[in-house]
Amino acid sequence: MQEKKIIQDYTKEELAEFIKPAFRVKQIYSWIYHKYVDSFEQMKNLPKEMKEQLENEYTLTPLKTVMVQNSKDGSRKYLFELHDGHTIEAVLLLMREKEYHEDGSLKHHERYTVCISSQVGCKVGCAFCLTAKGGFVRDLTPGEIVEQVRMIKKDNEIDANRRVNLVYMGMGEPLDNLPAVAKAVKIFADPDGMAISPNRQTISTSGLSSKIEKLGKMDLGINLAISLHAVDDVLRQQLMPINKAYNIKSIIDAVKNFPVNARKRVMFEYLVIKNVNDDIESAKKLLSLLEGIKAKVNLIYFNPYGGTEFKRPDEKDMIAFQEYLVKRGLLCTIRESKGLDISAACGQLREQELENKQ
Which position has the higher pLDDT, 350 or 50?
50
- Interval 187-210 mean pLDDT: 96
CATH of domain 64-357: 3.20.20.70
Gap between the Cα atoms of 48 and 40, Å rounded: 10
Q: Residue 334 forms beta bridges with which residues?
A: 299
Rounded to two decimals, the pTM is 0.91
- Provide the annotated binding site: 122, 126, 129, 172-173, 204, 227-229, 303
- Provide the annotated binding site for S-adenosyl-L-methionine: 172-173, 204, 227-229, 303
Residue 163: predicted pLDDT: 84
Residue 152: predicted pLDDT: 98
Q: How far is CA 7 from CA 10, 15, 28, 29, 320, in A?
A: 6, 8, 10, 10, 50
- Interval 222-232 mean pLDDT: 95
Domain boundaries, the chain: 5-59, 64-357
Residue 2: predicted pLDDT: 54
Residue 353: predicted pLDDT: 56
Gap between the Cα atoms of 281 and 240, Å rounded: 20
The total number of residues shown for the chain amounts to 358
Gap between the Cα atoms of 351 and 343, Å rounded: 10
Q: Is the pLDDT reported for residue 1 higher than 50?
A: no
- pLDDT per position as a tens digit, 99-142: 777 777 766 678 899 999 999 999 988 888 877 777 899 999 99
Residue 275: other Cβ atoms inside 10 A: 11
Report how far Cα 271 is from the mean position of its chain's Cα atoms.
16
Gap between the Cα atoms of 303 and 305, Å rounded: 7
| Inter-residue contact 168 to 200 (CB < 8 Å) | no
Q: Which of 348, 356, 353 is closest to 133 using CA atoms?
A: 348
Confidence at 356, pLDDT banded by 50, 70, 90: low
Q: Is the pLDDT reported for residue 226 higher than 50?
A: yes
Confidence at 206, pLDDT banded by 50, 70, 90: very high
Residue 101: predicted pLDDT: 73
- Interval 193-211 mean pLDDT: 96
Q: Is 144 a catalytic residue?
A: no
- Interval 310-337 mean pLDDT: 93
Residue 336, judged by CB atoms within 10 A of its CB (0-12, 13-18, 19+), counts as exposed
Give kind and range of the element (H or E) at residue 333: strand 331-334
Which position has the higher pLDDT, 145 or 163?
145
Quick one: angle between helices 209-218 and 248-256, nearest 10? 10
- pLDDT per position as a tens digit, 325-352: 999 999 999 987 666 665 555 555 555 5
Find the Cα–Cα–Cα–Cα dihedral 199, 202, 11, 170, rounded to 10°. Answer: -160
Gap between the Cα atoms of 317 and 338, Å rounded: 19
Q: Is 346 a catalytic residue?
A: yes
Residue 261: predicted pLDDT: 81
Share of the chain above pLDDT 90, in %: 77
Residue 301: predicted pLDDT: 92
Q: Is the pLDDT reported for residue 190 higher than 60?
A: yes
Residue 99: predicted pLDDT: 72
Gap between the Cα atoms of 43 and 163, Å rounded: 23
Gap between the Cα atoms of 86 and 119, Å rounded: 10
Residue 56: predicted pLDDT: 95
Which position has the higher pLDDT, 202 or 306?
202
Residue 228: predicted pLDDT: 95
Q: Residue 112 forms beta bridges with which residues?
A: 94
Q: Which of 144, 269, 346, 351 is catalytic?
A: 346
- Interval 4-27 mean pLDDT: 96
CA within 13 Å, CB half, 224: 33
- Provide the annotated binding site for [4Fe-4S] cluster: 122, 126, 129
Residue 103: predicted pLDDT: 77
For residue 222, give the 3-state DSSP assignment: coil
Q: Which of 89, 147, 269, 351 is catalytic?
A: 89
For residue 7, give the 3-state DSSP assignment: helix
Q: Is the pLDDT reported for residue 280 higher than 60?
A: yes
* DSSP conformation letters of 171-210: SS-GGGGHHHHHHHHHHHH-TTTT---GGGEEEEES--HH
Residue 267: other Cβ atoms inside 10 A: 21
Residue 319: other Cβ atoms inside 10 A: 12
- pLDDT per position as a tens digit, 103-114: 777 666 788 999
- pLDDT per position as a tens digit, 147-168: 999 999 999 999 998 889 999 9
- Interval 1-14 mean pLDDT: 89
Q: Which of 70, 43, 77, 45 is closest to 58 using CA atoms?
A: 43
Report how far Cα 274 is from the mean position of its chain's Cα atoms.
25
Residue 117: other Cβ atoms inside 10 A: 29
Residue 137: other Cβ atoms inside 10 A: 16
CATH architecture of 5-59: Orthogonal Bundle (1.10)
